[in-house]
Amino acid sequence: MELKLEKNKITGREKLLIIPLFKDSDFTLKMPAELHALLKKRQQLKDFTASQGQSLLLLPDSDKLPAKILLCGFGKKEQLNDTSARNSAALAVKAAKKLKLQQAEMILPENLAKHAQAFGEGLGMGNYNPAKYQTGKNKQNNEKTDIKKITIFYDGKDKKLAAALRDGLEIAAAVNEVRDLVNAPPALKTVNYMAEKAREVARQNGYKITVIDKKKLEQMGMGALMGVNRGSTAGAKLVMIEHSPWGSSKKPVVIAGKGIIFDSGGYNLKPSAAMSNMNLDMAGAASVIGLFMLLKKLKVKQHVAGIFALTENLIDANAQKPSDIVTTYSGKTVEISNTDAEGRLILCDTISYALKKWEPRYLIDIATLTGACMVALGERYAGLFSNDKELAAKLEKAGKESDELLWPLPLHPDYSAKMKSKIADLRNSDDSPYAGASKGAAFIQYFVGKTPWAHLDIAGPAHVKEPKKYENEMATGYGVRLFLQFLRNL
């Protein structure tokens, strides 16, 4: 979406003018007398209450006004915050998309200025089109709904407003790319494709990047990762990308993502209903890529390292079997009690390597790890597990500010004990259906040591059936905005 800003005077050059209205709306912008009169008349008729999400299309019979005027309700002005600004902007764009005009003008009310970044995020995320792989007339019709250019009129008093709006659109663009990555079919979104996407982001931003292939990973002793990879013809890779801005002397914040390209469950095969959307199982790795699309553009001053392992979890004659034992990169041995508990296996090797390489200030992993977490928290919250109260509080705060919510869940010693094996050091699951999310986190904790660490189980909010106002069904891009806010707050 191309953004243009104009001060004070509404031009009416485009066919569509979007006017956000609050229940107690005032207009401080200079506007044509006919437009002002038209709005006053609508207010007097009281058929448009300006409730959030309400819209009304006007077709004025005047050559001095745009051909179409779309009134969009933003709710009560006193309830305005970043979340409501983001939601309202997305709803306005979604209403405008139905008109298939592709270009629009929009008034920005004065009191939205301090929420301009969130407003920009809502515009960009609301404009997302998930129908990437449609063809013919369906594709043409979908493309006609995209808003390609929007001109925003504002009073010109706040010099930071333009930058904040553009930041919001940059953030939305990164989130939308992550959505595309997660939604992509596994036949296209291969291990090599994901690694090349990370290289592309590194080249564009001047980041240091390292990609380690299967042969080297075997030599390094990454037995847990290679065990998961045994059923796939695509060799696993480990990707590391680093943002180290000038003046950042502290040890890095390391963010580790789960990168399972497709998860069949292995020999502990998933039922068909649970397998159909398992192309989403690399959402954690995708969020790391999305974050790195923004760090340099938005001048984030923190030293940040991203790391993720990429593999499929499939079945063939060589595939890992229940009762196998693997030796992890840390040296600990793990009994494979369930081949469908594979995310924690690739994460334990990823985390062990990250600790040795960077000795991080904070270590955060993000993974679509357990259906149990989705059962517990649904689609609105990710599970938050941590060995450090300060880190957990900072993440929870960033989640509230970005509307990517986290809910603390327990790491009890009894759950850790359940991950002990009688034949090896650990096992990757137990037989009980209870506290599955906590046990998954407890397994990962064995590989963290004393490093301040948090585990985010995003199985619920990464891919949704009941989207937020700025989302669509399927992938959400969860994690990008959360991490960005977290890093800005440090």
Would you state the torsion angle of the CA atoms of residues 408, 409, 414, 415, taken in this order, to the nearest 10 degrees?
A: -120
**Residue 11 and residue 107 in contact, taking contact as beta carbons nearer than 8 Å:** no
- 143 band by pLDDT with thresholds 50, 70 and 90: confident
pLDDT in tens, 172-200: 999 999 999 999 999 999 999 999 999 99
Q: What pLDDT, on a 0 to 100 scale, did the predictor assign at position 40?
A: 79
Active-site residue among 230, 258, 344, 394? Answer: 344
Provide the pLDDT for residue 27: 59
User: Is the predicted pLDDT of residue 218 greater than 90, yes or no?
Assistant: yes
Q: Tell me how far apart the 2 most distant CA atoms of the chain are, in Å.
A: 82
- By percentage, how much of the chain surpasses pLDDT 70? 98
pLDDT tens figures, 405-457 = 999 999 999 999 999 999 999 999 999 999 999 999 999 999 999 999 999 99
Residue 427 is a catalytic residue: no
- Cα separation values, 376 from 257, 277, 449, Å: 22, 20, 27
Structural domains of the chain, ranges and CATH numbers in brackets: 2-156 (3.40.220.10), 177-489 (3.40.630.10)
Question: From residue 119, how far is each of 69, 115, 233, 441 by CA, in Å?
Answer: 20, 6, 45, 35
pLDDT of residue 223: 98
- The token duo for 72 is 């969009």
Q: Which residues contact 318 (CB under 8 A, 6 or more apart)?
A: 230, 231
pLDDT band (50, 70, 90) for residue 281: very high
The per-residue pLDDT of the chain, averaged, comes to 94
- The model's pTM: 0.96
Tokens for 331?
């040296």
The CA-CA-CA angle for residues 119, 121, 123, to 5°, reads: 70
Tokens linked to 279: 């192309």
Report the range of poorest mean pLDDT among 42-46, 91-95, 359-363: 42-46
Q: What is the pLDDT of residue 113?
A: 83
For residue range 232-277, list pLDDT tens digits in order. Answer: 999 999 999 999 998 787 899 999 999 999 999 999 999 999 999 9
Mean pLDDT, range 290-307, rounded to an integer: 97
Residue 270 designated active-site: yes
What pLDDT score was predicted for residue 111?
Answer: 79
Exactly one of 270, 296, 321, 380 is catalytic; which is it? 270
pLDDT band at 304, cuts 50/70/90?
Answer: very high
Mean pLDDT computed over 25-41: 74
